[in-house]
Structure 1
């Protein structure tokens, strides 16, 4: 699966959203409209050779003239955030792809939103959408300190539906206050650090929770076996060795496919499965999508049999 839109956009604004968080407003250099997107979507930002990152869109989906992203400075990161904070200035151009959405806001009579740190970014437009729909919702938003939590000023307009809970003031988030006794029909949306998502998953009934992870979820230990992948568009069959990913095997055969994180978190390499049963090892697909087996992330997932047929 691929996205048709790819373009160089210009950095129109750089704003400090919080301590260590930089908000960038991106526009087309010729003033062209940008593709439509829905809350939960993210874009791929190509910062340089081998330096590509995914950032959630956190602006107004109705504004086709600009995309806003927010980037947390991560001193122990792999270089992407440092590049944005130190080298990407106002007026500079940056190549983007997308948008892509694996965190779609599904219709519901009420929502419980939980965000940790920079995980507020995909949640922010969801709040505006829920508000526009006139449904019941609340947000529990945690972070290390109040100063490190982005967009708190924007959240003030929602009043007491938003609970801002910095850890240095209130301790760990009180998940029980949000998740215990959730009324039927409520959907829970959560984004943030892995430990927060794990804690929410432990408390939240299956089917109600939707999460987006910035880092891979720990997968059960499993043995890699050799299998074949037939590329339906070319008729080529490639062998995937135990120590090789489907992505690498496909690319080695001469077929170019989009990919980015190679960790199973971004969804860039999502590929349609025409036959066979994938062994899903990503952190993107829902349980229902895994059960359906219609797509897979070929950077990490494998095969539960001897052969897969992919739409490549």
Structure 2
């Protein structure tokens, strides 16, 4: 498993974007700002025991700054509260990444669907496509207009459909996703109910591979029964038994195998591991059944009694 580099950064600007959303701009303190592409995210290492992932929403061509926008989550695990309450201009911290599980693919046309703070990974994509004269549309929903970030900038890039629920009700997905087009890719990010609704409609009528989703929270897992299995760690030379109630990540760490991890929820991609033998059972929010050569060991398990992993 590749060990990702860490970068030292300093918060150079902070502004309130919308109700409950703050934007942070950071610059590398050693002059080595990592390059990134639309759809990428970084790990903010807020404390040694508090690491959170946030989509980069600045300009990929601006190699001197990194920008994230963070929604305060009342029922969160402490990351957003730390950002809102403690990170001020001049604060120094470390980041990991960028990492991109949501890359912008080539297409003739793009249909973007955003819910709330889900606009953040889509904004750099829209900037890029608009800058190249590409064809795109954006359907942007939120609780209220005041809670929706980046409306002025997005409106300046081109015509968009803005749907605050307090004014228009929810996004009309039946209309938005009507007339499936083999030359169009659909990109969606937002809360799970929106993602599930878009996923359901695209599965029924759109070509396979047309839909691309980014989840900020783990995909609901319908599996209720876990089975035990063994994992052979090819690099480390040890075999670890994975009980039914223990993740691969936890078990191999307890056995002394050093692995990279971050979210431990199957959303960030940090723990992606090469599968040398066996069939993984993907329980994460990134990979599909077609991805048989890698797995996210924080959540996923095995369809076979034994897996051989390149760790």
**Is the aligned partner of 1:165 residue 2:163?**
yes
Where does residue 78 of structure 1 map in the other structure? 77
CA contact (8 A) 1:12 1:91 kept: yes
What's the secondary structure of 1:123's corresponding residue? helix
* 1:252/1:33 CA distance change after superposition, 3 Å: same
Which of 216, 219, 237 is the matching residue for 1:217?
A: 219
Where does residue 248 of structure 2 map in the other structure? 246
Where does residue 231 of structure 2 map in the other structure? 229
**Cα separation, 1, equivalents of 2:2 and 2:74:** 32
Where does residue 260 of structure 2 map in the other structure? 258
CA contact (8 A) 1:120 1:191 kept: yes
CA contact (8 A) 2:199 2:211 kept: yes
Q: TM-score, normalised by structure 2?
A: 0.96
> 1:159: Cα distance to partner?
3.1
CA contact (8 A) 1:2 1:268 kept: no
Gaps of 5+ in 1: none
CA offsets, 1:29-58, max 9 Å, x none? Answer: 23x131211100000111113211100000
Gaps of 5+ in 2: none
> 1:177: Cα distance to partner?
2.5
**Cα separation, 2, equivalents of 1:226 and 1:4:** 30
**Cα separation, 2, equivalents of 1:9 and 1:172:** 39
RMSD: 1.2
Which of 181, 184, 189 is the matching residue for 1:183?
A: 181
Where does residue 194 of structure 1 map in the other structure? 192
**Cα separation, 1, equivalents of 2:188 and 2:144:** 19
CA offsets, 1:196-242, max 9 Å, x none? Answer: 00010111123210000111111222421121111111211111111
Where does residue 43 of structure 2 map in the other structure? 44
CA contact (8 A) 2:110 2:185 kept: yes
> 1:182: Cα distance to partner?
2.7
Q: Give the 5 Å matches for 1:1-312.
A: 1-2=1-2, 4-30=4-30, 32-160=31-159, 162-204=160-202, 205=206, 206-285=208-287, 287=288, 290-312=289-311
What's the secondary structure of 2:97's corresponding residue? strand
**Cα separation, 2, equivalents of 1:133 and 1:187:** 17
CA contact (8 A) 2:265 2:299 kept: yes
**Cα separation, 2, equivalents of 1:38 and 1:3:** 20
> 1:6: Cα distance to partner?
0.5
**Cα separation, 1, equivalents of 2:62 and 2:3:** 20
**Cα separation, 2, equivalents of 1:282 and 1:216:** 7
CA contact (8 A) 2:3 2:260 kept: no
